[in-house]
Chain A
Amino acid sequence: MTRDLLIVDKVRKSFGGLIAVGGDAGLSFSVPEGTFLGLIGPNGAGKSTTFNLISGVLKPTSGAVLLDGRDLSKARASDIASYGLGRTFQTPRAFPSLTVLENVMVGADNQGETLFSVLRGGWRSRETALRDKAGEVLERVGLSDRIDDVVANLSGGELRMLEVARQLVRDPRILLLDEPTAGVDPSLQAKLSRILVDLHSEGRTLVVVEHNLHFLLQIADSIVVLQNGQLLSRGTPSEIKSDEKVIAAYLGADHAA
C-alpha cells in the first residue's frame, strides 16, 4: 500500500457557530500518493470549503490537515503552496495586469524574486529557462497561441486552463482542482480530461471537485462523497455508482431502490 500524501483528520469548520464541515465527529479522509481522487456531493456539501481548509485559505475550527506528515493547521496559505500543494479556484483567478505567459511564469518558484537577486541582476539568466518552461506548460493546456494575450481576452474555459498551467509550472506534489469543467465547452473538457489522465499516469496526486459526475467517474480512481459537510461514502467509481446512499443524496430518497 502506498503511503498517504494528504490526510484530513477529524477536521471541523464552523462559521459563527454553524458547522459547515465535519459535523460532530469531524471530516476524515486520506489521499494516498498517486491517487486521482474525485470529491463529489450535492450543492452545499462543503466541497469547496474542504478545499479551502486543505489549502490554508480557511483554518479548521478543530482537527488537522497533514501534507506528507506535516501539520498544516498553523501554516500560511503561501507556505502550504510552497510545500508542494497546488490548487485552482471555483471561480477562476488570474492576474489581469500580466500577460498569459507572465501569469504562468509568476507561478514558478522563482529565486529571482528576492531583492538580493534584483540587485545582482542574476534573474536574467534564469528568465529564459523559465519562459521556456512556461511555454511548454501552456502548450500542454492548449494556450500556446495566446501567450502574449491579455487575460481579459480569455474565455472562462481558457482561464481555467491558465490556472491549471500556473500550478503545473510549479510542479506540485498534489494538485487540487475546484470544478475544472464548469463553464468549459465540451471540446476543452475532453482536452482537460486527457490532461488529467496524463498527469495521473505520470504518478501525480490529484484531488478534483466536480459537479459533472459523468466527467469525474470516468477518469478518477477513487471517489469521496460528501453530504452536509460529512463523509457519506468512499469507493471506486463503480462502487459509488451503485451506492444507494449516494443515489439518495443526489436524487432524493424516493429514487433509491
Chain B
Amino acid sequence: MNTISQIALTVVMFGSLFSVLTLSLNLQYARGGMINFGTVAYFATGAYAYAIVTQEPPHGLDQYLVGLDMPWWAGFIAAGLAAMAFAILTGWPTLRLRGEYLALTTFAFAEMLNSLLVNERGIGNGTVGLANVERPDANILGLSENVVYALAAFLLMLATAYAFRRLLASPYGRAVDAIRDDEVAAQAIGKNIARLRFQVFVISSMPIGFAGALYAMITTLVNPELFTAEVTFFVWIALVLGGERTILGAIIGTMALVGFQEAIRAIPFESVRAAEIAASAEDIVTGILFIVILRWQPFSALARRRQAA
C-alpha cells in the first residue's frame, strides 16, 4: 500500500513537471505550428541557471566559475528568464524556417548546448555536473519533502495551463491559429507572422525554464546526462499520446506515460537478470502501447469529450 502511494506521488511529481514541457510544446506545435525538437535545451537552461544562481562560489576541486549563492526564488526566476533568453537566441535565426527544417535546427541547438555543458567545465563541472543543488526548506505544514515538491510541480502545471489557456482564448490565440492555418492569408489581413511566432516561441519557453529549476530542486543534481535528446522525445511521445491541440490531452498523455514507466520500475525483482529483462521489456511495451494508443487515440477522445462538455 505504501509503495502504491509512493508511486502515485512520483507520478504526480514527474507527471506534472513534464506536463509543463508538454503544454509548452503543445502551444508551440499544435497552436503555433512550430516543431521544436530541442525542448530539452530550454529545460537544461532552466536547471543550470537555477543551480548556478543558487550555489556557493567554487572551492576545492570545483571547476565551475560562477556561483552566486542567492536564494531559491532568485534562482527560480533566473531559470525562467534564462530559458526565454535561450529561446530568443535560438528562435531569432531559425523561426523563419518551416517544418522539418526548424525541427532539425532546434535539435542541433540542443545538441550544441549539451556538448557545451559536457566540454566547458566552467559552466557546471562538465560531465560531473553540479551536485547538492540547493533547495528551499520544504518542511512546511509537516508534509514530507516529496509531497511538497509534488504539490509544487502540480501548481506549476496548473499555472502554465491557466496562462496558456488564457492566452489562447483571447484574440491573440485566434491570430496564432490563423497563422498556423494559412500564413499567406494571415499576412493578407495584416498579421505579422514572424513577430507572433517568435513571441509564442519565447513565451512558451519560460515555463520550461521554471520546470528545469524545479527538476534541479527535486533531483538536487544537474549534469549533462540528465538533459539528452531522450527528454525531448519523451515529451513529444507524451504530446502525441494525449492527442494534439488540447491542454487536457497534453496533461493526460504525460501522466499516462510517466505512470506507465513508474509502474514498470516498481515491480520488485528477485534477480539482476529479471531486472534486465524488465528494462528491455519496458522499451518494447512502451513501443506497443504507443502504437495501440495511436491507433485508437483514447486520450484525445477523452480530452475532446471533456472540452465539448
Mask of A55-97 contacts with B, CB within 8 angstroms, 1/0: 1110000000000000000001111011000110100011111
Contact call A57/B181, Cβ cutoff below 8 A: no
Nearest CB of A to B116, in Å: 31
| A86 → B minimal CB distance (Å) | 7
Q: Is the CB of A94 within 8 A of B189?
A: no
Q: Which of B179-204 contact A (CB under 8 A)?
A: 180-182, 184-193, 199, 203
What is the distance, in angstroms, from A30's C-beta to the closest C-beta of chain B?
22
Which residue from chain B places its CB closest to the CB of A102 in the assembled complex?
B174
Contacting residue for B185 out of A89, A112, A123, CB 8 A:
A89
Contact flag A94-B203 (CB < 8 Å), given A115-B172, A117-B172: no
Given contacts A93-B184, A95-B182, A115-B199, contact A81 B189 (CB under 8 A): yes
A78 x B190 contact (CB < 8 A): yes
Q: Is B93's CB within 8 Å of the partner chain A?
A: no
Of residues 89 to 129 in A, which have CB atoms within 8 Å of B's CB atoms?
Answer: 89, 93-98, 102, 105-107, 109-110, 112-115, 117-118, 123, 127
A170 interface residue (CB < 8 Å to B)? yes
A136 to B181, CA, bound (A): 25
**Does A222 touch B at the CB level, under 8 Å?**
no
Complex alpha-carbon distance, A95 and B176, angstroms: 11
Q: How many pairs of A and B residues are in contact by the CB < 8 Å rule?
A: 91
- CB of A166 within 8 Å of the partner chain: yes
Are B192 and A76 within 8 A (Cβ)? Answer: yes
Q: Tally B residues with Cβ within 8 Å of A.
A: 24
The yes or no answer to B8 lying at the interface (CB within 8 A) is no
Q: A57-B184, A97-B180, A118-B170 are in contact. Are A113 and B189 (CB under 8 A)?
A: no
Listed residue (A56, A78, A86, A114) with the most chain B CB atoms within 10 angstroms of its CB = A78
| A167 adjacent to B178 (CB under 8 Å) | no
Q: Are A112 and B171 in contact (CB under 8 A)?
A: yes
**Do B182 and A76 have beta carbons less than 8 Å apart?**
no
Partner of A107, one of B180, B189, B199: B189
Contact status of A113 and B171, CB under 8 A, knowing A95-B177, A95-B181: yes
Could you tell me if A95 and B178 are in contact, using CB atoms closer than 8 angstroms?
yes
Chain A residues with CB under 8 A of B182: 93-95
Write out the residue numbers on chain B whose beta carbons fall within 8 Å of the beta carbon of A57.
Answer: 184, 187-188
- The answer to whether A96 touches B181, judged by C-beta atoms less than 8 angstroms apart, is yes
| Contact in complex: B177, A78 (CB < 8 Å) | no
A110 to B196, CA, bound (A): 14
Cα-based distance from A109 to B192 in the complex (angstroms):
11
Q: Is B265 an interface residue (CB 8 A)?
A: no
Query: B189's contact among A56, A79, A96, A170, by CB below 8 Å, is which?
Result: A170
